Amino acid sequence: MLPQFVYNPPDVPLDIVYEDAAIIVANKPAGLLSVPGKNAGRTDCLTARLQAARWDALLVHRLDCDTSGLIIYGRTKQAQGFLGAEFEKRRTEKTYIARIWGVPAAREGLIDLPIGPDWDDRPRQMIDHDNGRPSQTAWRVIEDNGHTARAELMPKTGRSHQLRVHMQALGHPILGDPIYASGRALDFPRLMLHAHKLALHHPFTKEWISFSAPAPF
């Protein structure tokens, strides 16, 4: 049974990494929803905060509440549609930083395991070889201390909870993950997952652009 979700969003200033006439790139803190939640008391979110300061910000994609890092918004319907297609057609490059439990025997690899919802324990996702959707994550260990490791995770697909499910399946759950970690791997103040780099084509100029935000852990 999953722990009860208590929403206590951080009271921190808005962090805009980049903006021009077409896009806004923001750095979301951990613990803040990307969009309003369905239940009462969950209206505070990055999109609401951003739109209070930039009325024309239009949502393109999301990050899990517990994940920090880069989110891009369009500033026109045209820009929003173009950016949405970049994600849908896998023309983006995304790199996450994670701290994981244990040290993998290999230093890098590709996880190719289908993911689907665990209907008996939502919002948990699971490896589902019968009905799951194809999912791929490339990973690379950056450093380790013998007990935990710091890794780059590069999702090739965009399934819900993909990185969290894949790292658990690899036997190295992300530290502080309230859904997929257990035991001592839970003994951390937050989910140790951060959207570190994002690269894609600019909706107006069509140039390849990239952004980064350092991991806060």
Helix (H, G, I), strand (E, B) or coil at 70: strand
Q: Identify whether 64 is a catalytic site residue.
A: yes
Q: Could you tell me the two tokens for 127?
A: 């490896």
Q: How many CB atoms lie within 10 A of CB 134?
A: 11
Distance CA 214, CA 201 (A): 21
Q: Could you tell me the two tokens for 75?
A: 């500033």
Check 11, 15, 44, 64 and give the catalytic one: 64
Q: Which residue has the tokens 């502080």?
A: 176
Query: What one-character-per-residue DSSP string does 175-186 give?
Result: TT-TTT--GGGG
Return the active site residues.
64
